[in-house]
Amino acid sequence: MAQSNHFIVTVGDFRDATGRYFSLRTPFHKPLNRALARLGASWNKDFKCWLLSYSKENWSQLQTTIAPFGSLEIVSPKPLPKAQLTELNPNQIHLISTYLEMLYAHGYAQKSIDTYVYFISKLIVALHPIHPKDYSLDQIDAYRAKHLFHRSNSSQRQFVSALKLLLTLHDNPILPSTIVRPRKESTLPKVLSTESVLRMISRTRNIKHRLIITLLYSCGIRRGELLQLKLTDLNYERGIIHIREAKWSKERLLPLPQSILPLLEEYLRFFHPTIFLFEGRPAKAYSTTSVANVVKSAAKRAGLKQVITPHMLRHSYATHMLENGVDLRHIQELLGHSKPETTMIYTHVAKRTTLSIESPLDVAVRRAHPTNDTNNIPIHQQSPIPRIAPKINPGSLEEF
């Protein structure tokens, strides 16, 4: 069975009163989900993962089942940061550690675990000494009103997801349906013009910084994917880039742009990275803040007034690809989107789609004056728009 995408299924060790299970967390993919169901795995709607009875036979069959779709990745637990432990008392540390173990047992990705633990730690400290099993809806609402009102809808939605897991873990009687989750924001992506991107690249003198901006735009990769790129992920002979640390643990292959090879060779000749393509310290990946500052400084040198983020270069890549006639399905694969609906948002900002539709007023003016080509005439030199509707006799208004 040939698959266009390589999926990574994270595996946790889940135990409850009914027994021991493999917890399987996967991206949304119907053929993969059907294969897990045929294997005997069941979907747990509370923890949003698949559960498969823990046994050597099931582990062997699981490996065979997943092989056509991708690979398995066993989650490696990490302890709580030492800096965080110094701010907590023993009871709080126990609650947070128990919550952390539960997340690992259910196979959550490390980024999700870090985010959920951050929110829950703040909540546990704020409501101490009340135990999570005794939290009331009023207390939770008061906490959200005081500490989360200024945060984005996305952050508040993450908090609700983290909170529901905490309440379920401690058998709190609050029904999950009574916890209001903010509506997901629907905003259009912010896109730069090709000329603006080229100015950002050309006015960046530092070779490393220039390559960072160039890769973000020319490959449309996420900032996290860029920082996790290793030297071994670049295949010069085949002309591909292997993206391994992608969102939803999904790998993909991207074409290596030929136009960046001279810059890439110059960078490697001067900087000599050892493991990661971009390193802050030897063998340590570059920081996310550093990448954001590189993009922000480049935008300032290019004369751009708005705040430019690394993700805007990804949006620009997708939009410009669509404007150049690349099929939406291909763009979806290049971006690593699981659903085509996610990619379709770029049709709202691409000029070859809805923005290329001519206004009926422009059509009427052009038909009324077919010889007047005003496209290249400055606006202050153009003739007034001709009156399309007939003049109204003021006297006729008396009839109304």
314 among known catalytic residues: yes
Percentage of the chain beyond pLDDT 90 is: 48
Exposure string (b/e) for 356-371, b if CB count within 10 Å is 16 or more? eeeeeeeeebeeeeee
pLDDT of residue 246: 67
Strands (E), the chain: 6-16, 19-25, 42-44, 49-53, 70-74, 234-235, 240-243, 250-255
Q: What is the mean pLDDT of residues 266-291?
A: 87
How does pLDDT run across 141-174, given as a tens digit for each residue? 999 999 998 888 889 999 999 999 999 999 999 9
pLDDT the model gives residue 230: 92
45-49, 248-252, 283-287: the lowest-pLDDT one:
248-252
The confidence score (pLDDT) of residue 200 equals: 96
Q: Band of the pLDDT at 387, cuts 50, 70, 90?
A: very low
In the chain, list all ranges with CATH 3.30.780.
Answer: 6-74
Coil, helix or strand for 65? Answer: helix
Structure confidence at residue 314 (pLDDT) = 95
Least confident residue range of 69-83, 152-166, 374-388 = 374-388
Higher pLDDT, 226 or 399: 226
Superfamily assignment of 194-348 in CATH?
Answer: Intergrase catalytic core (1.10.443.10)
How many Cα neighbours within 13 Å face the side chain of 392?
Answer: 8
User: What does the pLDDT read at residue 70?
Assistant: 81
* pLDDT bucket at 385, cuts 50 / 70 / 90: very low
- Other beta carbons within 10 Å of 165: 20
Of the residues 203, 247, 300, 366, only one is catalytic, namely 247
Residue that wins the pLDDT comparison between 342 and 308: 308
Q: Is the per-residue pLDDT at 220 higher than 90? A: yes
Whether the predicted pLDDT of 328 surpasses 70: yes
Q: Which residues of 7-30 are buried (b: 16+ CB within 10 A; e: fewer)?
A: bbbbbbbbeeeeeebbbbbbbebe
Active-site choice (314, 315, 317, 320): 314
| 6-74 CATH, one of 1.10.12, 3.10.310, 1.20.1070, 3.30.780 | 3.30.780
Contact 31, 7 (CB under 8 A): no
Marked catalytic residue, from 170, 181, 311, 366: 311
Indicate the pTM of the whole model: 0.60
Span 108-124, pLDDT tens digits: 877 888 899 999 999 99
Positions of CATH 1.10.443.10 in the chain: 194-348
Of the candidate ranges 78-82, 245-249, 325-329, the one whose mean pLDDT is the lowest: 245-249
The overall average pLDDT reported for the chain is 84
Q: Which residue type occupies 11? A: V
Active site residue 311: yes
For residues 343-363, give the mean pLDDT: 73
Q: Where in the chain is the domain with CATH 1.10.150?
A: 82-178
Q: How many CB atoms lie within 10 A of CB 129?
A: 9
Give how far Cα 54 sits from Cα of 36, 40, 73, 319, Å. Answer: 14, 11, 16, 46
DSSP category for residue 279: B
* Confidence category of residue 352, pLDDT binned at 50, 70, 90: low
pLDDT of residue 325: 87
Query: Which range among 21-25, 136-140, 206-210, 395-399 shows the weakest confidence by mean pLDDT?
Result: 395-399
CATH fold of 82-178 reads DNA polymerase; domain 1 (1.10.150)
Which one of the listed residues 209, 222, 223, 315 is annotated catalytic? 222
